[in-house]
Amino acid sequence: MLRSWILFLSYCLGAGKAFTTNSDATRKQQYQIQNGPCTYTFLLPETQNCGGPSKTYTEQVQRDDPVDWNRLEQLESIIENNTQWLQKLENYIEENLKQDMVQIQNNAVQNHTVTMIKIGTSLLSQTAEQSRKITTVEAQVINQTTRIERQLLENSISTSKLEKEFLQQINEINKLKEKNSFLEKGIEDMEGKRNTELETLKEEKEELKKLVEMLAKVIKEMEQQVSSTSSDNTAMKQQQQELTNTVNNLIQTISVTRQGSNSAMMQDNPDQLIDCAVVFKQGNKKSGVYSLTIPGTKQQFKAYCDMGTDGGGWTVIQKRFNGLVDFHQTWKNYTMGFGDISGEHWLGNEIISKLTQEKQHTLRIDLMDWEGNTAFSKYSQFSLDGEKQNYRISLNGYSGTAGRTSSMGQTGGDFSAKDLDNDKCVCKCSQMLSGGWWFDACGPSNLNGIYYQQGQNTNRFNGIKWYYWKGSAYSLKATTMMIRPANF
Ligand SMILES: [Ca+2]
């Protein structure tokens, strides 16, 4: 117990508390303790008869044998009392120490709290700074993300557009492919047809070659026949010439004898009968040969007037129906006319030119085949240029039954005869097809070709041809070409 007391005092001194001791002589001891604003004073009880050293007492005890029991009891009581005081003191100190410890702890806690608050504040400020930085970074990230999303969206839209255009292009390419395949098929079909046509044309060409060869043979034979009969013809020509002379003499004789009675009438109206229309209008409505006068001259000529066909008044410029007249004539003969006016004849390009140059004329062509069928072609406008223009023909206003298309070229063509080639062929159509005509190259018609009799009139390319009625190889039986003023 005493040891702990001493230890307690050492602790108080070590804690630096105010601690004072007053020793009142040798009997009483007083202790003061300063704690904060309070001062505690402790009075310890004095140790009676204990002024000497313990050695003396011990020696006295050992010496005073027997034991002084009263003294011992007193000592024990004193010790017990001191012990109680010490216990009180200890308790008091403990309580105060507890308070101090609590205060110290509180102070420490407060210090810790302040530090922690400082640290927390610092952390908060750091956290706020970090948060701000994070917010900034987040904003940047959001901006970048938005920009990237926008770009992605734009790219997506562009991609969609491109895909759409791509699909359209693919569709168009497919359509083009279909068209191409369709065209290729069409071309293949056309090529097939063309090959077939070429084959057919080759066959026809071969047939034509054969026909030409056959015609050449026939022509040669005919030439031989002509040469063999030329001597007979010479004799006939002489007789004809004699007859012509005789007839001319008779005409002169008659004209001399009738001059007194008729010349007056002819001279009074020398230009009156210029064509059959005038004759018709004068009341002559019977078809036949009439004497006419070339317009602007006193030169007379004879012509056959058709007063029955299509209203009459027609001046016939060509007539064929029996093959008695040869139409393979020279340029000059076609210019002046030849044949029999009352039979087969050609009136003459010069007269036709003068009549049609005088006024607008209509041309009518009547045709008959060997089966008795008839047809006609009519041109509301017809004229011939002069000899310098090779008697170029002008036609317009086609109508009629001899084909829906005109068999005479309405674009105009020069006249050719066997001795004067004005056609558009590298060949000479007049010599190849016979007769004089407005050949083109060589054209779909020739009414002055060779006259073939019935039974020989087919497969004839040089016969009397009117292509758009009977084809190119059919030779007609009868033809009449006649003109009339358009205002008739
Ligand atoms: Ca020619």
Structural domain of residue 387, as residue ranges?
A: 276-485
> How much distance in Å is there from the Cα of 408 to the middle of ligand 1?
17
Full DSSP string of 226-246: HHHHHHHHHHHHHHHHHHHHH
Indicate whether 268 belongs to any domain: no
Indicate whether 401 belongs to any domain: yes
> How much distance in Å is there from the Cα of 434 to the middle of ligand 1?
13
Q: Are residues 153 and 281 in the same domain?
A: no
Q: pLDDT tens digits for 393-450?
A: 999 999 999 999 999 976 779 999 999 999 999 999 999 999 999 998 898 999 999 9
Q: Are residues 162 and 298 in the same domain?
A: no
Sign of CA dihedral 185, 190, 193, 199: negative
- Answer whether the bond into residue 425 is a cis peptide, omega within 30°: no
> How much distance in Å is there from the Cα of 424 to the middle of ligand 1?
5
Return d(Cα 319, Cα 288) in angstroms, integer: 13
> How much distance in Å is there from the Cα of 332 to the middle of ligand 1?
18
> How much distance in Å is there from the Cα of 211 to the middle of ligand 1?
21
> How much distance in Å is there from the Cα of 394 to the middle of ligand 1?
20
The predicted structure's pLDDT at residue 19:
45
Return d(Cα 1, Cα 56) in angstroms, integer: 23
> How much distance in Å is there from the Cα of 436 to the middle of ligand 1?
13
> How much distance in Å is there from the Cα of 443 to the middle of ligand 1?
12
Indicate whether 341 belongs to any domain: yes
Return d(Cα 448, Cα 437) in angstroms, integer: 7
Q: What is the CATH number of the domain that holds 364?
A: 3.90.215.10
Q: What is the pTM of this model?
A: 0.48
Indicate whether 5 belongs to any domain: no
> How much distance in Å is there from the Cα of 412 to the middle of ligand 1?
15
> How much distance in Å is there from the Cα of 425 to the middle of ligand 1?
4
Kindly give the parts of the chain with pLDDT less than 70: 1-40, 42-67, 226-272, 410
Indicate whether 312 belongs to any domain: yes
> How much distance in Å is there from the Cα of 105 to the middle of ligand 1?
146
Q: pLDDT tens digits for 263-298?
A: 333 333 444 689 999 999 999 999 999 999 988 888
Full DSSP string of 418-443: TTB--SSSSS-HHHHH-S-B--SSS-
Indicate whether 247 belongs to any domain: no
The predicted structure's pLDDT at residue 256:
40
Q: Indicate the residue among 128, 162, 196 that finishes a domain.
A: 196
Number of domains in the chain: 2
